Amino acid sequence: MNMRTRLFAIRLVRRLCDDAGAQLVEFAISIVVLIMLMFGVFAFCLAMYSYHFVSYVAQEGARFAMVRGSDWKTSCATSAPPNFTVPYSCKAASVDVQNYVRSLAMPGINPSNISVTTTWPGTTPSCTSNCSVCSTVASSGCYVKVQVSYPFLFNVPFARQSTYNFTGTSEKVIQY
């Protein structure tokens, strides 16, 4: 092996053992992991916010239907404005409960993605084996059940996107 080849080999080995750019590579790898972790925490907090919102509006929707039982003379469509500033002036139907729940949407929640199902099971709370069936759908003393669902997109950079469907249910006894 001649002298020139030998010097080339020595220089090549020195360059391969040199760690001058290693810090930049380590920083790039660690910043990607840190950003993923940070956005993951933000997404998890937003998921908990959405989950809490769904359970809250299910309770509020059931309350809205509970206080507007069979005794109300007018429907919500004829007496209350869309923002429901007149709080107790109408008899609630399924569409009215849905509109009310969607009006409660907080920042970060898309109201058009909120799905609301309102049912009146038609039994009284003391129904065990000998159930008494309610005379009308929204009779006083009978149940109203509101189920709210909201699809949440869990979006973290460099990770697979997942959609989780949060559901909240509330069942109350009609008071009036």
Query: What residue spans define the domains of the chain?
Result: 22-173
Q: Is the pLDDT of residue 99 over 60?
A: yes
8 Å CB contact between 174 and 144: yes
Mean residue pLDDT of the chain comes to: 80
- Mean pLDDT of the 71-87 span: 51
pLDDT at 57: 95
Q: Is the pLDDT of residue 150 over 90?
A: yes
Q: What is the pTM of this model?
A: 0.70
Q: Which residues pair with 133 in a beta bridge?
A: 123
- Mean pLDDT of the 142-168 span: 88
Q: Is the pLDDT of residue 36 over 70?
A: yes
pLDDT: which is higher, 124 or 108: 108
8 Å CB contact between 145 and 169: yes
Inter-CA distances, 53 with 10, 95, 169, 176, Å: 66, 20, 12, 27
pLDDT at 128: 55
